[in-house]
C-alpha cells in the first residue's frame, strides 16, 4: 500500500471506490507523484488487456471501412446478355424425281434429195421369124429343171423313212417246272413223328420249294399248314434231303418253284 501524509487518512470508502475517485483523492492531497503509482497498482491487468484489444479492433474496423469506400472500389459492369438466334439454311427447291427429264433435241436430219429414177430401157420387140422357134424352146428349159428338182426331193423323203426293222424276237420256250415225288429219284418219305402218332394227329402239308438248276432244294417254306407243328417240321426236314428234276426252258435247266403236298395219315 502507498504511504500517505499523517495529517489526513483516507476514508474506508477509499479502498472500495473506483480508480477515478482514488485519483481525485490523490490530487486533493497534493500528491501528484503518487498518482501514476496508485492508478497502475489498483488498475487490473485484465482490464488493461481488454482495452488494448478493443483499441486494436477499432483500428481494424476503421482501416476496413477506408479500403471499402465507394471512391476506391472498382465498379465492374454487369455482363451484357447474349442473344443467340438460329438461322435456318436456305431451302432448296424440291426435285421431282418422277418427272422425266426432257431429252436433248436431236438435230434435224438432213433433207434427202429425191433420187431421179431413170426409166429402164424397154427391149425392142423382135420381129417374128420362122427360125426363132428353137430359141423359144431353149428359154423354156429352166422351168423344166425346177420341176425336175422337186421330184428329187420327194424321192429322198421315202428313203429316210425306210428304216430297217429289227428282226422279231423268237417266241419264248415254255418253262417246264421242277418236280419230285417220294419214291421217285429215291426220295424217302417223311418220318411220322411218334408224339403225333400217339396223339392221332393227321393232316396234309403243302410246302413251297425253290429248286436250283442242279436239282437240290435251296429254300423250303410252309405254304399250307397241317394244323400241327410237329407234322410241318417233319415234312420240311424230309424235303430238304430230296433231289428234284430242275425246271427247264427248252433244253436248259434253270431255277424254279414247285409246290410239294405231303399227307400224314395213320393206318388202321
SS3 content of the chain, % helix, strand, coil (to 5): 35, 15, 50
Contact call for residues 209 and 257 (beta carbons, < 8 A): yes
The whole-angstrom distance between residue 179's C-alpha and the CA centroid of its chain comes to 69
Rounded CA-CA distance 157/160 in Å is 5
Flag the least confident range among 44-58, 65-79, 153-167: 153-167
Rounded CA-CA distance 30/23 in Å is 11
Longest dimension (CA), the chain: 217
Domains and CATH numbers, the chain: 12-62 (no CATH), 176-264 (3.30.2420.10)
pLDDT at 110: 57
Across 117-131, 149-163, 244-258, the highest mean pLDDT is recorded for 244-258
Q: At what angle do helices 35-42 and 19-28 cross, to 10 degrees?
A: 160
Contact call for residues 238 and 190 (beta carbons, < 8 A): yes
Rounded CA-CA distance 214/217 in Å is 9
Across 154-168, 169-183, 239-253, the highest mean pLDDT is recorded for 239-253
CA angle 212, 214, 220 (to 5 degrees): 35
Contact call for residues 53 and 46 (beta carbons, < 8 A): no
CA angle 171, 175, 179 (to 5 degrees): 170
- How many residues make up the chain in this entry? 268
pLDDT at 232: 96
Rounded CA-CA distance 214/180 in Å is 13
- In the sheet with 256-264, reading across from the earlier edge strand, the strands are 217-224, 203-211, 256-264
pLDDT at 175: 57
Buried/exposed 26-43: b ≥16 CB within 10 Å, e otherwise: beeeebeeeeeebeeeee
Over the stretch 183-200, which tens digit does the pLDDT of each residue have? 457 888 999 999 999 999
pLDDT at 50: 87
Mean pLDDT across the chain: 69
The percent of residues in the chain predicted with pLDDT above 90, rounded, is 27
Amino acid at each position: 500500500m502507498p504511504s500517505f501524509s499523517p495529517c489526513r487518512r483516507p476514508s474506508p470508502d477509499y479502498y472500495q471506490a473506483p480508480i477515478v475517485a482514488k485519483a481525485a483523492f490523490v490530487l486533493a492531497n497534493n500528491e501528484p507523484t503518487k498518482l501514476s503509482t496508485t492508478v497502475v497498482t489498483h488498475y487490473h491487468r485484465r482490464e488493461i488487456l481488454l482495452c488494448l484489444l478493443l483499441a486494436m479492433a477499432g483500428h481494424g474496423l476503421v482501416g476496413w471501412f477506408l479500403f471499402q469506400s465507394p471512391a476506391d472500389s472498382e465498379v465492374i459492369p454487369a455482363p451484357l446478355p447474349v442473344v443467340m438466334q438460329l438461322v435456318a439454311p436456305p431451302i432448296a427447291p424440291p426435285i421431282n424425281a418422277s418427272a422425266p427429264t426432257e431429252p436433248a433435241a436431236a438435230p434435224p436430219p438432213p433433207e434427202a434429195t429425191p433420187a431421179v429414177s431413170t426409166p429402164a430401157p424397154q427391149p425392142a420387140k423382135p420381129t417374128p421369124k420362122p427360125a426363132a422357134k428353137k430359141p423359144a424352146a431353149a428359154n423354156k428349159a429352166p422351168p423344166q429343171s425346177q420341176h425336175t428338182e422337186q421330184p428329187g426331193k420327194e424321192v429322198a423323203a421315202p428313203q429316210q423313212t425306210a428304216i430297217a426293222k429289227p428282226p422279231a424276237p423268237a417266241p419264248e420256250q415254255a418253262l417246264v417246272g421242277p418236280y419230285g415225288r417220294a419214291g421217285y429219284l429215291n426220295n424217302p418219305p417223311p418220318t411220322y413223328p411218334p408224339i403225333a402218332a400217339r396223339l392221332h394227329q393227321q393232316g396234309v402239308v403243302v410246302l413251297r420249294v425253290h429248286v436250283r438248276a442242279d436239282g437240290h432244294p435251296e429254300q423250303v417254306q410252309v405254304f399250307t399248314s397241317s394244323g400241327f407243328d410237329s407234322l410241318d417240321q417233319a415234312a420240311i426236314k424230309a424235303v430238304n434231303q430230296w433231289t428234284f428234276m430242275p425246271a427247264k426252258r427248252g433244253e436248259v435247266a434253270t431255277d424254279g418253284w414247285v409246290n410239294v403236298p405231303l399227307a400224314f395219315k395213320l393206318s388202321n
